[in-house]
Amino acid sequence: MPVHPVDKPLGSSSHDVVARARRLLGTRRVGHAGTLDPLATGVLVLLSEEATKLSPFLTASDKEYLAWVAFGLGTPTLDAEPPEDEGALTRAAPDALAALTRAGVATAARTFLGLTEQRPPAFSAIKQGGTRSYAAARRGEATEPPARPVAYRSVEVLAFAPRRGDLPHGFAPRRWDPPAGSAPGPADPTQGAKGAGRSAWRPSDAPGGRGFDLPPELAELPCALVSVTVAAGTYVRSFARDLGARLGVPAHLAGLVRVRAGKVDLADCSPLDAVSSATPLDPVALLPYPCAHLDDRAATAVRQGKQVELGLTGTTALVDGEGNLAAIVEPGPDGRVRYARVWQRGMTP
């Protein structure tokens, strides 16, 4: 029951990726653990067969992104998707853009660390009155989703440039540097998110890093490259809009790479077309909960939905003697357990 992390291609929707993965994996039972917009790339965790039941547990994990924020131009979608009507764009005065500095952007970015609410984009999948917000927005209907709870874990401005052409378009693990006087080589995979911690990436134009092509229309716009880690449900497009607002100029998200989703790092991802041959990840290791190991008798009881006394203090993954995921449970009243999800068959990579 595998977990397949892939590097989502630019321009493909998460639905497109799932449809392609169904053909490559030879099964209809494929889902994902957290949507990525078409104009974003990076970590998209695909789940197949019984692993699809993990989606609500993995989707709730924190996400880390590299965001290219362009100042001076606001778009209806808050990203680089061109509007049908040029009049829908908002532009900043040249003198306002000339006043932008890296220090000013960094100061404004730090103010997000205390925020607890965010207004989502009108072009989002949030439902209002039974209708997806983006569907109403594309029909030209005035719609603004209400603010929702969010959390910013970290925000760091990695680079700023008055012109897009001066901004680094790639990145590599922070602690990776080629030897002095030598040509750049491949990035050390041991320096990825497995143990690397927060802010594990830095700008790099070296071939060993990873590139990202910004839209050519941004040539004259000031841009910032920002590392941002957020709780589930936080829109980075809204972050770009709100960062510009704090600086007194319109802004939009010019590029986005998800470099981490929960415990899955970009270094763990395979290209989409290689998903069927890539080694899947251990689902138990990816869960954001502690594990409790069961003997055969207890594992059988759990899979039958019977009550077992485990002395839990929080949500826990229950694993049988062979290392297979049997259930995810929560503590209930009087020492009883509440089953959040049970797997009748063992789930291993």
As a whole number of angstroms, the distance between CA 310 and CA 294 comes to 10
Q: Contact, 65 vs 43, CB < 8 A?
A: no
As a whole number of angstroms, the distance between CA 57 and CA 38 comes to 23
| pLDDT reported for residue 147 | 81
Domain residue spans in the chain?
3-61+265-285, 63-115+150-181+195-261, 289-347
| pLDDT reported for residue 89 | 82
Mean pLDDT of the region 135-150: 71
Establish whether 37 is a catalytic residue: yes
| pLDDT reported for residue 344 | 85
| 121-137 per-position pLDDT tens digit | 876 656 656 666 655 55
Catalytic residue of the set 37, 242, 268, 320? 37
User: 289-347 domain in CATH 3.20.20.210?
Assistant: no
As a whole number of angstroms, the distance between CA 25 and CA 9 comes to 17
As a whole number of angstroms, the distance between CA 143 and CA 123 comes to 9
Mean pLDDT of the region 23-36: 94
| pLDDT reported for residue 222 | 92
In this structure, are strands 251-261 and 264-265 parallel, antiparallel, or unpaired?
antiparallel
Instruction: Please calculate the CA angle 84-75-254 and round it to the nearest 5 degrees.
Output: 115
Residue 211 has pLDDT above 80, yes or no: no
CATH numeric code, 63-115+150-181+195-261: 3.30.70
Residue 207 has pLDDT above 50, yes or no: no
The pLDDT-based confidence of 64 (bands split at 50, 70, 90) is very high
The pLDDT-based confidence of 295 (bands split at 50, 70, 90) is very high
Q: Which amino acid is at 165?
A: G
Instruction: Please calculate the CA angle 90-91-95 and round it to the nearest 5 degrees.
Output: 155
User: How would you class 339 by CB atoms within 10 Å of its CB: exposed for 0-12, middle for 13-18, buried for 19 or more?
Assistant: middle
Residue 186 has pLDDT above 50, yes or no: no
| 303-349 per-position pLDDT tens digit | 999 988 888 889 999 999 999 999 999 988 777 889 999 998 755 55
| 223-232 per-position pLDDT tens digit | 998 999 999 9
Q: Which CATH superfamily is domain 3-61+265-285 in?
A: Pseudouridine synthase (3.30.2350.10)
As a whole number of angstroms, the distance between CA 97 and CA 223 comes to 10
Q: Contact, 208 vs 176, CB < 8 A?
A: yes
Residue spans of alpha helices (H) in the chain: 14-25, 55-59, 94-98, 102-110, 133-138, 236-246, 283-286, 296-303
Residue 143 has pLDDT above 80, yes or no: no
φ, ψ of residue 224 in degrees (nearest 5): -125, 140
Q: Is the pLDDT higher at 32 or at 206?
A: 32
Contacts of 182 (CB under 8 A, 6+ apart): none
| pLDDT reported for residue 144 | 73
Residue 173 has pLDDT above 50, yes or no: no
| pLDDT reported for residue 114 | 87
Stated pTM of the model: 0.82
User: How would you class 85 by CB atoms within 10 Å of its CB: exposed for 0-12, middle for 13-18, buried for 19 or more?
Assistant: exposed
As a whole number of angstroms, the distance between CA 329 and CA 341 comes to 7
Residue 4 has pLDDT above 90, yes or no: yes
Helices and strands of the chain, counted as H and E runs: 8, 22
As a whole number of angstroms, the distance between CA 348 and CA 66 comes to 31
As a whole number of angstroms, the distance between CA 122 and CA 134 comes to 6
| pLDDT reported for residue 172 | 45
Query: 289-347: same fold as 63-115+150-181+195-261?
Result: no
Summarize the chain as % helix, strand, coil (round to 5): 25, 30, 45
Spacing of C-alpha 206 from chain mean position: 24
φ, ψ of residue 26 in degrees (nearest 5): 70, 35
Q: Which amino acid is at 337?
A: V
